A and B are shown apart, each in its own frame.
Chain A
Amino acid sequence: MTRRLTWALPPALLLAAAFLYPLALVVRQSFRPDTGGTSLQPYTDVLGSVAFREALWTTVWLALAATACCLVLGFFLALVIAFVPFPGAKAVARFVDVFLSFPSFLITLALLFLYGTVGMANGLWTEVTGAASGPFRFLTTPWGILLAEVTYFTPFVMRPLLAAFSQLDTAQVEVAASLGARPGQIVGRVILPEALPALAAGGGLVLVLCLNEFGIVLFTGAKGVTTLPMLVYSKAILESEYPGACVVAVVNVLVSVGLYGLYRVVSRRAGA
């Protein structure tokens, strides 16, 4: 017993020092208004503000929508890579691995080059039509952020799915076909149920990452779109309003943990 404790102690201490202590500092700061003392004042201020509630809503729906899109798109793409024989399928699967190592802002930057106000698409448009500016402005809207997040996070769903698909016995697929199941039925009744755990794992990861995504939102330069991490940034760095920033950070953490917990419960219900 004591032996086990001795082994558990160093990692626990390390965890506390590296993670829990700074977190505790943030929480403590969130109860210390600039006017001095300890009170719930920062909370009532922040939670009462329209900016906060809009940021909370934007964050949650963007994360949920991005996760849903990533799951659908990732499942479909992984399915094609794993089961449709085409030359280069291996290379594509390999590329997915590499893609995971890219920083998120890189994707946003690439999208800026394509669809930004001075990007290729708009450039082409102005050249051809002679208009002063192009029609592609969605990048600075929530849809732009959604596009960037889906682009960047879909491989996070594909990776565990591809691993799961490679474990799946192809004989099962063949037997199902011989029994009269069409490709759609095989996907729905054999492949999808067996891939649910992997799908749930990928989805959970994407959900949490999206809730906390900062780089993508910053790089799209969407002025009107504020998410919780952006709000923390602007309060802390731009306005030097630390207690408020800490309140938003605490809420961000709670939302992350809460939604992730809910997600696990739901996906476990679904049999994953």
Chain B
Amino acid sequence: MTGIRFERVSVAYDGTTVLDALDLTVEPGEVMALLGPSGSGKTTALRAVAGFVRPASGRVFLGGRDVTGLPPHRRGIGMVVQQYALFPHMRVADNVAFGLRAQKVPRREIPARVAEALEMTGMGEYGRRYPRELSGGQQQRVAIARALAVRPGVLLLDEPLSALDARLRSGMLAELARLHRELPDVTILYVTHDQVEALTLADRIAVMDRARLQDVGTPRELYRAPRTEFTASFVGNANLLPVTVGSTGVAFDGVELQVDTQGVAKGAAATLCVRPHLVGLGPGPNRLAGVVGEIQWRGATHRLYVDVGGHRVMADVRELRRPPAPGEAVEMHFAPEDAVLLAAGVSRD
């Protein structure tokens, strides 16, 4: 089993640092999502593992072996990219056999290995087709089969679903989850800017922003207890309220709110993070009073945008029989344990 370890890996193009001292360990058999906005350096990190960019400093380890200076073809990885990159002049079966032939797998073993990989991705019927005769989703399956055929210890996926439409994407997401259950030994590094993909698929998520690793944790940890404002707003939605820390709670817009203030100095400025779906309508503890700015019906829920002392607070509540109209005064509340206090200074720098 092969894990991945980044040890202070930095990459620069023309003097601009696009990956800044990345320290990250992916355990063997783990699915790690690299999540972040466009240009945050996710692909660069993945390419450093594959060997297509040479770090300016730092080391990359695969299965405990330092591969920093190793050429790509000797790293034993599988790679799937956004635009499939199938070989257009080869039939599907030959595409899948490519890695086996390159690695000098005995000739008589190849057909079975190809069939196995195609079967696993549900493409068993299509071996004789050319890539141009397949739909986008089918091409991506072939690309995945091609990467899996060589039985890599590490599978690198760079936005593998982003060229597909929304429905196909959720189907493929389920398939990827199934593939990982069937191949529990394969370590997966999954680059995406889609938080749903990351939350669904990953054992842990590494959040990246502006060339830096911002946060690492299980989806639940990052969602429940984000450590930075950036994580809070990028992994799921969040209300981020500027507060001042008191002795038993915080002051927001002159109102005392009861929250856990452990670890934050009294009198300091901080940010209070509350998920919109944990904000309830009506009176209760930790009361927030404001005026409805906008209300959206979203089928099962209503999303309210409420102006509280000049700050916009979002609340997702079960569909309301009689929703308030814009301009109406409302009361909201949240449970003390549902709020997370973020000390100032750990926000995105």
Contact = CB atoms under 8 A, between A and B. Distances in A.
Interface residues of B, number: 29
A169 B143 CA distance: 15
B85 A172 contact: yes
Interface in B67-108: 71-79, 81, 83, 85-89, 98-99, 101-103
B83 A178 contact: no
B79 A175 contact: yes
Interface residues of A, number: 18
Given A169-B85, A171-B83, A194-B88, A178 B102 contact: no
Nearest to B98: A179
A180 B102 contact: yes
Contacts of A174: 50, 52, 72, 79, 81, 85
Nearest to B75: A178
Contacts of B146: 175, 179
Contacts of B199: none
B78 A178 contact: yes
Contact of B73 (A169, A171, A177, A193): A177
Interface string B99-131: 101110000000000000000000000000000
A28 to B, nearest CB: 48
**For A172, A176, A180, A190, which residue has the most chain B Cβ atoms within 10 angstroms?**
A180
A178 B98 contact: no
B245 to A, nearest CB: 50
A185 interface: yes
B150 interface: yes
Contacts of A169: 83, 85
A185 B83 contact: no
Contacts of A271: 89
Contacts of B143: 175
A176 B85 CA distance: 9
Interface string A144-181: 00000000000000000000000001011011111111
A179 B85 contact: no
A171 B81 contact: yes
A182 interface: yes
A94 interface: no
A179 B78 contact: yes
A63 B293 CA distance: 81
A4 to B, nearest CB: 32
Contacts of B76: 180
Report, nearest first, the 7 A-B pairs whose CB atoms are least far apart. Answer: A179-B99, A171-B85, A181-B102, A177-B72, A178-B79, A180-B103, A180-B102
Interface of A: 169, 171-172, 174-182, 185, 189-190, 193-194, 271
Given A174-B85, A182-B102, 10 more contacts: A175-B146, A176-B98, A177-B73, A178-B78, A179-B73, A179-B98, A179-B147, A180-B99, A185-B102, A193-B89
13 contacts: A171-B81, A171-B85, A174-B72, A174-B81, A177-B51, A178-B75, A178-B78, A179-B73, A180-B99, A181-B98, A189-B98, A190-B87, A194-B88
